[in-house]
Amino acid sequence: MDPMRFMHTEIPQIRNAVRRARRVLRDEHNRLERDMAARIPDPAASIALHLLRNVRVLAGGLGGILSDVAHKAFPEDEERPAQGLRPMPDGPLRRQARDASLMCMIADRIGVDAHSPRLSAARQTLDVLDEATGQPCLSAEEAATYFIRLTAGSEDPQLRLSVFATLLLLVHEPSGMVPREVMAKRSADLSRVLKDEILSSRALGDERGIARILKKYAAHV
Amino acid sequence: MFDLNALAASLPPSNKPLRVSVRQLHWFCAAFEATARHCGERMGCTFTVDEEKIAGIFVRWLKSIEVQKPGARAEREDFFDFVPSLVLRELIGDLPLKATSAPTRVADNPPASFWPEGYVCTMFCLAVHAKAMDEEFHTRREIDRMVDDLRSWYSFRENAAEDTSFAAGFFQKLLGHDPNWTMPANFSARNRAAP
């Protein structure tokens, strides 16, 4: 056996450990950036933030290298995503994890039950995208394609707005200083204001129009 | 009026220039709430802020910037100076805050006592304007003394109730300009003499 390849039974644990490490690094970096801006007076804060942003760029590069290594280590992973994995048992922890997802926070703000079956498929897809390495993880065009597909099964305007608002955040370049909960709220609020534009473009199946709205407003969340 | 430096200092921190962060809803909303808190502490009252209204105001403001933004770089500073008056027009048109009780510390500030909500909206625009002008052009405008004159605020409230564009003219007047009262919310018409 290739020593670089891991047993399939080990893959989930290793991947979870890497994911946890990445999140800790990202959260700590964000916290540091927030604290600097709040506590250090200008012009020292500007210089410190500039240096910290350079660290973020370096970390991004390192993330790319790690991704390459992961692809080499887990070559068959994409083809057998669920093998050897037991679903998380239903219970308070699972519910807690679901409630913390971007889609759930947004759906809650818009007034949709995020746990309803009609939102289930969209939520699962968007949760996976939200977990993806590096943000923004979607271009406006990709997000528009997802929007059309994920809302094909329902004409419920609130459901469509929830999906749109989630995608808007996945196109958005995060500042690192603002908690996800706040961004989720603002994305939902923005989408509600843009309701007419979004829903009329969706009704026409106008993917380019949707991409235009996403591109235009992603920077304004 | 309140100390403008303290007002500007109460705005939330950002790792971006203010001209960018103010066009992001999360910062705009946080900044408005911070101003309402700051003013409420000084006025002896609390304000509730309607975030849904803020989002609507923000989008309408963005759209008006998009329509009016000048192409010429020479007009950049003038436009920065003008843009907060468009925010005030939107804020006054859809007041996104409400005092939950009558202010108790406004004996020396008749305008704040007369119209607490309108006063906070105006202070927010003045704070953002001051900070943006300082960041971008290192300039600072003196605020006209009419800011403390109750008659000006009475006229402001009365006229804005009929036409919210009046708020834009009022703001320009606070900055010492002579607004075009026929079209006070129109940047390209700002220097045209009224008939």
Its ipTM equals: 0.92
Using a CB-CB distance cutoff of 8 angstroms, which residues of chain B are in contact with residue A190? 25, 55, 58-59
- State whether the Cα torsion B26-A149-A160-B90 is positive or negative: positive
A1 or A118: which leads in pLDDT: A118
Residue B142 to residue A54: CA distance in whole angstroms: 38
At A122 the pLDDT is 83
pLDDT in tens, A99-137: 568 888 999 999 998 778 878 878 888 887 777 655 667
Q: Which residue of B has its CA nearest to A220?
A: B24
CA–CA min distance B113, chain A (Å): 31
At A176 the pLDDT is 72
pLDDT in tens, B65-119: 999 999 999 999 999 999 999 999 999 999 999 999 999 999 999 999 999 999 9
Mean pLDDT of A205-216: 97
Single-letter code of the amino acid located at A179? P
Among A54-58, B44-48, B68-72, B78-82, the minimum mean pLDDT is found in A54-58
At A39 the pLDDT is 63
Using a CB-CB distance cutoff of 8 angstroms, which residues of chain B are in contact with residue A194? 59
| B11 pLDDT higher than 60 | yes
In this complex, is the C-beta atom of A159 within 8 Å of any C-beta atom belonging to chain B?
no
B170: CB partners within 8 A, 6+ apart? B88, B122, B152, B156, B159, B160
At A82 the pLDDT is 40
Which of A67-76, A152-161, A206-215, B186-195 has the highest average model confidence (pLDDT)? A206-215
Mean pLDDT of B138-166: 96
Asked if B15 lies within 8 A of A53 by C-beta distance, the reply is yes
CA–CA min distance A206, chain B (Å): 21
Using a CB-CB distance cutoff of 8 angstroms, which residues of chain B are in contact with residue A176? 15
Mean pLDDT of A8-30: 54
For residue B98, give the H/E element and its range. strand B97-99
At A173 the pLDDT is 74
Q: What is the CA radius of gyration of chain B?
A: 16
At A17 the pLDDT is 54
Single-letter code of the amino acid located at B63? K
Q: How many CB atoms lie within 10 A of CB B3?
A: 9
Mean pLDDT of A40-53: 56
At A153 the pLDDT is 86
| CA-to-CA dists, residue B158 to B69, B136, B161, B170, angstroms | 29, 34, 5, 12
Mutate to test the interface with B, among A189, A198, A215 (most CBs of B within 10 A): A189
A1 confidence band (pLDDT: 50, 70, 90) = very low
Residue A191 to residue A116: CA distance in whole angstroms: 21
Mutate to test the interface with B, among A190, A212, A216 (most CBs of B within 10 A): A190
CA–CA min distance A53, chain B (Å): 10
pLDDT in tens, A65-94: 554 554 455 444 444 444 444 555 555 555
Q: Which residue of A has its CA nearest to B11?
A: A38
Helices first, then strands: H and E counts in chain B: 9, 2
Asked if A221 lies within 8 A of B62 by C-beta distance, the reply is no
Q: How many CB atoms lie within 10 A of CB A115?
A: 13
Quick check: B98 and B47 in contact, CB under 8 A?
yes
Among A42-46, A144-148, B137-141, the minimum mean pLDDT is found in A42-46
Residue B74 to residue B137: CA distance in whole angstroms: 13
Using a CB-CB distance cutoff of 8 angstroms, which residues of chain A are in contact with residue B55? 186, 189-190, 192-193
At B132 the pLDDT is 97
Using a CB-CB distance cutoff of 8 angstroms, which residues of chain B are in contact with residue A177? 13-15
Q: Which residue of B has its CA nearest to A50?
A: B15
For tokens 């080990």, the residue is A10
| B172 pLDDT higher than 50 | yes
Which of A34, A38, A221 is nearest residue B24 as measured by Cβ atoms?
A: A221
At A79 the pLDDT is 40
At residue B180's C-alpha, the angle toward residues B175 and B182, to 5°, is 140
A6 or A197: which leads in pLDDT: A197
At A115 the pLDDT is 79
